[in-house]
């Protein structure tokens, strides 16, 4: 799932970029934001944090351990046969689509100066 902080940051950056480009067409907000995004991702996926999450989830993972060989074999067989299954949660996609539509409306409003 997408992290709420990253979605909010992306929305904010798009809004800032729209206004910033009106003030200075040379503005590259993504270049400015890159160090912040890299820091967030480094912290989120640091070995220490990943290991901590693994430790927390280990009891749950162990309950599924007996099924793992069969599941891995089934997945590998699908890959070899070219049968890939993509599982997308429609509720998450709807929420993301709604957020993007709202953001698009805000950007258009900011650019046109209406509203």
Query: pLDDT tens across 79-101, in order?
Result: 888 877 666 667 777 777 778 77
* Confidence at residue 69, expressed as pLDDT on a 0 to 100 scale: 92
Average of pLDDT values for 28-33?
Answer: 80
Write out the residue range of the structural domain in which residue 102 sits.
4-112
Indicate the average pLDDT of the chain: 81
* Confidence at residue 55, expressed as pLDDT on a 0 to 100 scale: 93
> What does the chain come to in residues?
115
Contact 13, 33 (CB under 8 A): yes
Measure the N-to-C terminal CA separation of the chain; round to a whole number of Å: 33
Helices (H), the chain: 4-23, 29-44, 47-64, 68-81, 90-112
* Confidence at residue 52, expressed as pLDDT on a 0 to 100 scale: 92
Average of pLDDT values for 8-32?
Answer: 82
* Confidence at residue 31, expressed as pLDDT on a 0 to 100 scale: 83
Distance between CA 71 and CA 53 in Å, rounded? Answer: 22
Average of pLDDT values for 25-33?
Answer: 81
Q: Quick count: other Cβ atoms within 10 Å of Cβ 22?
A: 12
Q: Work out how many domains the chain is built from and give that number.
A: 1
């Amino acid at each position: 799932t997408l992290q709420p902080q990253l979605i909010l940051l992306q929305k904010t950056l798009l809004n800032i970029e729209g206004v910033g480009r009106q003030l200075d067409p040379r503005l590259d907000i993504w270049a400015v934001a890159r160090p912040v995004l890299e820091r967030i991702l480094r912290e989120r996926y640091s070995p220490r944090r990943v290991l901590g999450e693994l430790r927390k989830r280990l009891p749950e993972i162990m309950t599924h351990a007996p099924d793992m060989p069969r599941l891995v074999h089934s997945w590998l067989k699908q890959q070899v046969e070219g049968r890939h299954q993509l599982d997308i949660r429609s509720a998450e996609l709807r929420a993301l689509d709604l957020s993007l539509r709202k953001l698009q409306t805000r950007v258009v409003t900011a650019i046109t100066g209406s509203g």
